[in-house]
Chains A and B, each alone.
Chain A
Amino acid sequence: MQHRKADRFVYGYDASIFRGSDVLAIAFPATAEEVAALVRLAAREGLPFVARGAGTGINGGALSQEAALVIELSRMNRILEVDLENRFAVVEPGVVNQDLKRYLQERGFGFNFVPDPGSQVVSTLGGNVGNNAGGMHCLKYGVTSNHIMGLQVVLPDGEIVEVGSKVPDRPGPDLTGLFVGSEGTLGIVTRITARILPLPEAVVTQLVLFPDVNAAARAVSGIMAAGVLPAALELLDRKSMTLVDRAVHIGYPENAGACLIVELDGIRDGMDSDVRRVSEICAAQNALSIQTAETEEESHRLWLSRRAAYGAMARVSANVYICDGSVPRNRLAEAIERVVEICTGHGLDVINLAHAGDGNLHPLIPLDPNDPDARERVIVAGREILEMCVELGGSITGEHGVGVEKQEEMALMFSPEELGAMLTLKFALDPDDRCNPRKIFPLALFPPRTLAAAENRLPRDAVS
């Protein structure tokens, strides 16, 4: 346990641009039973509680607006079982995404855990599960949810239950699917059964430069129409390329207005014909150049332009607002164009990255947190971008989640009945809204607070 003032202050922050209240105390349980004991204690005392992984989420989901007990899962970081024959790994929620990948790699198993959110070197699998994190390889392999087979969950009443399992398709509703992405509002995940997959035999990465975003987007549609299913299809606009160039010196030509990274993987035989196909399609869309990497080193270099993008932002701005919306793939170019219009209209700069294959936009808006006027304009522009995504048939969040950031925007996508149905499930398990309270849904839908969450109510000797 930690309850020094400084600790309680620090846990009022996470990787988002938001600030929560000081927390009541921070607990570091080592087992599911300890988590359950903490949750039961919170139930008895009427305290809100928030599960926390690495705090890398950017929707403010790990923060609390009221003094809450933080249950930090970083000590629960064991890889419990790896079963190659049945293709799963059982892990605790505090395992860092990259650590599981490294574990599989270092032992030469020839398997990988595929989900690779940008935060993978620090974010935990518990956090990935809570937010149903995405990444660069969702087009072919899906989001986190598609890789989770079962969960052990401590419910808000302190009961430990198992949903899903190592054996798929159990009778009844897909409750694993419900818990994944519920942002810690339905319970606390204490064990994860994750699918692992054999490494592909061959991987080819291509970096293609186009005169503009439109041409790149047309190439994306063309590639899919040709029956090629790339593992990744990433798009950068001119501004991101300039930024990346300044950071890692790739040397993009002046006339390139957009760049596409295409990764193909699978069986070696026939791969060359797909690579050729992609090249032809890009050429038909006036590609300026096509580089193909066949070794891991070359591929790493081509990927650098994408992977360096967030870091490169630090050169132009102390902070950045990362938008996250998705649109149907064929509306991508239009969406990016409108993002630029919206930001320009508010006097803001914007840099566009996108997981183009799955229509997931990531406009980055440089932000000076000390300029309240600019901050307000960024928030308004962010909302307009989300409205546009919904208008084009997409979503207010492709992979970062709702948290506190977009809880009011949920009404853009869902009717009162739809929000009501989701909240019915929430209140069925957590009638007092103590489990990561007041998140995801518009605040007005939560009943007035009756909790006695006074700062000093946590009995310090209650947890051993």
Chain B
Amino acid sequence: MSGRPVDAAALKSVLEGVLGPEGCRFDPAAREPFALDGRVPEAVVYPPTPERAAELLRACGGAWGIVPWGGGHRAEIGPPPTRYGVALSLARIAEIGEYDTESLTLSAGAGTTLFDVDQRTRAHNQMLAVGWPWERHTLGGLAAGNRGTPKRLAYGALRDQLLGIKVALADGSLTRFGGKVLKNVAGYDMTKFFLGSRGALGVIVETTWKLFSRPDHEVYLWAAMPSVDAAARLAADLLRSPLLPACVFLLEPKAAQRLAGLERLGDLAGRPLALVGFDGRAAATRRQTADAEALAGKAGGEALPVREEIGQQAAGYLMGELPSEEPALRLRLGTLPSFSGKAFGAVRSALDDHGCTGEAVADYAAGRLTLWADAAESAPEALRGLTETLRKRLAPVDGFVEVERAPPEVKASLSLWGDLGGSAKLNRVFKEKLDPQNALAPGRLPGVPGEF
């Protein structure tokens, strides 16, 4: 159905019928920013409420491909939609609703940014511990993408912090699951089901989160290590110790170079690095930092404390946010933490084998490596080969490689997710039942073909 021409007049009439002309944009300048791999939607709509978003889905009746949009920050992940009539922006569903400072929960529209949440919660010395307060990260986008949190060791992954969700389903029903209580086992855990569903099983219009009190102190420590393996061993030692690091990131020398401009890091650049963070009371962070320094020293490393904001800035990069223009390819590698050192080695040799350049960083506890890579003129063959080689290398440890960003011709020529095993079948069965017209983000649900 991908090639079927869209009946523009019919589309306009349906969309404006629900949202009025003020809620719909059809001019190219408004539509261009919503392009996905060169495909531009026929319309962009801005429903003002969850109810109107649901009504819109009902009115469309599956006739057009509809892709939900948050801040667009990671919209490049996944294949382009096989049908793309409508970009459904959640920018107007961006109110912070119930904020219960006593029970430490917060509900907000899917279009609410982390920045807004940060502003609001900071006043009560609380926080949403899913990432730094970036303006383009929306709550709905985070839930739909499920790409991890920077301090999972201290506050958990997204799945541990998302308590409830409101979702407009493809048939136009507006549904709410979970809630604002920490313990709730009534019915299926649909909140988790929609986590990571990438807009293809329903449109997340509102989310409810567990908050935390802000730590008294956030302390970071750089450890320059003699080798990447030694850095990985330090991370392993930290996780086996009684210490409670909030995060442990690893950088190979190439990646460490990028941060050379940051304060004090100049001295350490060119060596493999670990960035260790501790959150908590002063006495606890002081003692833990000292212990971590000692552990690094014992492993032949050299440790230096860094200021909080520098640590945060670096940790942003380590979560996959590049400070400058991105290379052609960005891969997310999943591996066992203990395999991280070897995974760095695999990355380096695969880059060499395929004539690519690149840099890689790891969130040790999450078993995640982010690899940015490029080849001469972004040669598709090399980038594809690199991806496939890494998949083979990670297979023995149950790892995976997701292609998050790639030139369209590369994306079109390989599986972006690799082998998803039994999940592919389940994703497909659920998608077919919940969205039989394949209207929502068609082609973008991992493991499910663009047309069925």
Contacts and interface: CB of A to CB of B under 8 A. Distances in A.
Contacts of B287: 267-270
Contacts, number: 283
A297 to B, nearest CB: 21
Contact of A359 (B125, B182, B240, B434): B182
Interface of B: 100-105, 125, 146-148, 156-157, 159-160, 169, 173-177, 179-198, 201, 212-216, 236, 239-244, 280-284, 286-288, 334-338, 366-368, 397-400, 402, 416-417, 420-423, 425-427, 429-430, 432-434, 445-447
Given A86-B337, A167-B367, A171-B400, A330 B103 contact: yes
Given A422-B188, A424-B433, A169 B183 contact: no
Contacts of A402: 185-187
A399 B239 CA distance: 30
A146 interface: yes
B193 A177 contact: yes
Contacts of B182: 138-139, 326, 329, 358-360
Contacts of B175: 415, 417-418, 421
A88 to B, nearest CB: 9
Contact of B190 (A198, A396, A415, A422): A422
A326 to B, nearest CB: 5
B421 A398 contact: no
Contacts of A330: 100, 102-103
Given A142-B160, A171-B400, 5 more contacts: A153-B422, A165-B398, A173-B192, A326-B182, A402-B187
A449 interface: no
Contacts of B103: 328-330, 359
A266 B174 CA distance: 42
Contacts of B368: 169
Contacts of A394: 179, 181, 184
Given A138-B182, A273-B281, A394-B181, A425 B193 contact: yes
B397 A395 contact: no
Interface string A259-273: 000000011111101
A393 B180 contact: yes
Interface string A394-432: 111111111000100010011101111110111111000
A44 interface: no
Interface of A: 83-87, 131-132, 134, 138-139, 142-143, 145-146, 153, 159-163, 165-178, 180-182, 186, 198-201, 221, 224-229, 266-271, 273-274, 326-330, 355, 358-360, 393-402, 406, 410, 413-415, 417-422, 424-429, 440-441
Contacts of A419: 187
Contacts of B399: 167
10 shortest A-B CB distances, which residue pairs? Answer: A177-B192, A161-B422, A227-B213, A270-B283, A172-B446, A417-B173, A398-B183, A270-B281, A395-B184, A201-B242
Contacts of A199: 242
Contact of A398 (B184, B189, B193, B281): B184
Given A86-B336, A86-B337, A410-B187, A172 B427 contact: yes
Nearest to B197: A173
Contacts of A227: 125, 213-216
A163 B426 contact: yes
B426 A161 contact: yes
Contact of B183 (A162, A167, A326): A326
Contacts of B286: 269
User: Could you say which of B159, B174, B181, B420 has the most chain A C-beta atoms within 10 Å of its C-beta?
Assistant: B181
Contact of B398 (A167, A175, A274, A326): A167
Given A142-B160, A330-B103, A358-B181, A178 B188 contact: yes
Contact of B148 (A169, A229, A414, A417): A169
B430 A413 contact: no
Nearest to B177: A418
B73 to A, nearest CB: 17
B250 to A, nearest CB: 15
A177 B239 contact: no
A327 B240 CA distance: 37
Contacts of A355: 183
Contacts of A134: 183, 185
